[in-house]
Structure 1
């Protein structure tokens, strides 16, 4: 068991991870501004550390006594980074480098970074992306993720900081906020629930690798409980689903036959991204994968009860 600090511990993935680490017996500190309150933390063993990611002092104080650090916070989304490309450099990239420096000073033994399997590979004629394939991100968000991955390598070589880049596909699940306009499934389910207009980018043929949050967290816990052989892992369902197939699942679960308004697809959107997760499964075995209908049903139930 280890002392774990989750940066972004009140966010969608960070909260699920904080709770799961505590259930597994780790001592967990969730670092966040907690601007939405601390309702995302459900396990008594998780301690809240209120702080600002952009404050070097706040980060340094949170690192005291920690062993493992999980960097699961982003100051941007794909949309905000697209609208202001330099924002990701000035905030995410710059402060992540500061965080890595502070981790070296604090003697952190392991550093886990939530990268993006959906944005980092870019547009290539590949059916399933492997970790050793070329990375050609075309969006500012993906470029920023890759830049931080490169800094992980630098700190690993220069200072011996053991780090792992987790290239996460398209996670979705309960407790996912739609305020940041990120996450197709919860956004559309909220729109169905409220009767709002539903938009579709392009013709709905875009393919993504959607992974239910509980399945993703189990994969991360497997990495934490072992001595991983690699420094980079694709984490996803390993299965491609079109946007139209997602909409069909939502119609089945909600029993609402909604229509969509088609919008132009942004130039930097990638048509198809499906992750090859064989590096993970060869090392840790096949995780249980929640079907799309099961996951959509869980999110729909959560939305209706909230």
Structure 2
């Protein structure tokens, strides 16, 4: 069996499927077998990508796949800060425990290159300064963010005990073409859906909360650079490095779409951070990566893709 395969867990989700397509076009990676483990099939993926129906709890399937894969991308997540609010056990049962069972399976294998998608938007809470570097202390305000902190800690132990290379990716708010509409997932995609339907969106707070928005292609390029490097370990912020308020996003969207967005401002939620902008200097310095797609460009591209 070819042992140089790449396994993407959660590979039919927005980020996972975009990375799979990116691997197909990358000269250094496209000859490697690509496997996707996901609960749902994705018919739009290239035919030479092998999709395996299942979850991280399917130990028999994983035991058959892991020997043939030297690189593993963990992009699976079943919650958001709002979904698991007031329900820490939901975070534990849907994200933390499945990952721990997966780590137990990895302990049966030799060293791997493992990339884990954490969260730059919830990991740091409300930091004292901005933009935040990877050395900023973690201070999550949601059980979702706390779950990411816990998984990062367990993966650190896994790296120490096995000698595997573990790379933690802390992306900002990722959006772009190919993102399906799911209520509660992705504020830009949700806003565009309401523009399409001419319906009203609920905004928690006064719209002045600051977020760092990253177009999906820029995330894919960063991920591919880390895979090509091979021996990278540590934590990396992946963001545009510039903050925009939700009201700024709305104004940009109305300009790009030529339509008004109906907004209903609701009381702020305790799980939401007030401002988060990621410093991406570490990734830029080590891998010569820079985001290329501005917010205006990204919204325009996403809007065009939704026009059919």
TM-score interval, smaller chain: over 0.9
Runs (4+) of structure 1 exceeding 4 A deviation are 227-230
Q: What is the CA distance between 1:102 and its match in structure 2?
A: 1.2
Match runs of 1:121-270 below 5 Å? 121-227=124-230, 230-270=233-273
Question: How many angstroms apart in 1 are the aligned matches of 2:34 and 2:86?
Answer: 35
Please list the CA deviations of residues 35-67 of structure 1 after superposition, one character each: whole Å capped at 9, or x if unmatched: xx42342x3331111112333333333323111
Match runs of 1:1-306 below 5 Å? 2-24=4-26, 25=30, 26-34=32-40, 37-41=41-45, 43-227=46-230, 230-305=233-308
* Greater mean deviation of Cα atoms: 283-292 or 93-102: 283-292
- Count of residues in correspondence between the two structures: 302
Q: What is the CA distance between 1:294 and its match in structure 2?
A: 1.1
TM-score, normalized by length of structure 2?
0.93
Q: Aligned with 2:170: secondary structure?
A: strand
Structure 1: stretches of 5+ with no match in the other structure:
none
Q: Aligned with 2:307: secondary structure?
A: helix
Question: How many angstroms apart in 2 are the aligned matches of 1:299 and 1:239?
Answer: 19
Contact 1:68 1:111 (8 Å CA) reproduced: yes
* Greater mean deviation of Cα atoms: 200-209 or 175-184: 175-184
Q: Indicate the RMSD between aligned Cα atoms, in angstroms.
A: 1.6
Question: How many angstroms apart in 2 are the aligned matches of 1:264 and 1:178?
Answer: 24
* Greater mean deviation of Cα atoms: 192-201 or 217-226: 192-201
Please list the CA deviations of residues 190-232 of structure 1 after superposition, one character each: whole Å capped at 9, or x if unmatched: 1110111122221111111100000110011111111455411
Q: What is the CA distance between 1:97 and its match in structure 2?
A: 1.2
TM-score, normalized by length of structure 1?
0.94
Contact 1:218 1:287 (8 Å CA) reproduced: no
Question: How many angstroms apart in 2 are the aligned matches of 1:220 and 1:161?
Answer: 18
Structure 2: stretches of 5+ with no match in the other structure:
none
Question: How many angstroms apart in 2 are the aligned matches of 1:290 and 1:220?
Answer: 16
Q: Aligned with 1:81: secondary structure?
A: coil
Q: What is the CA distance between 1:84 and its match in structure 2?
A: 2.1
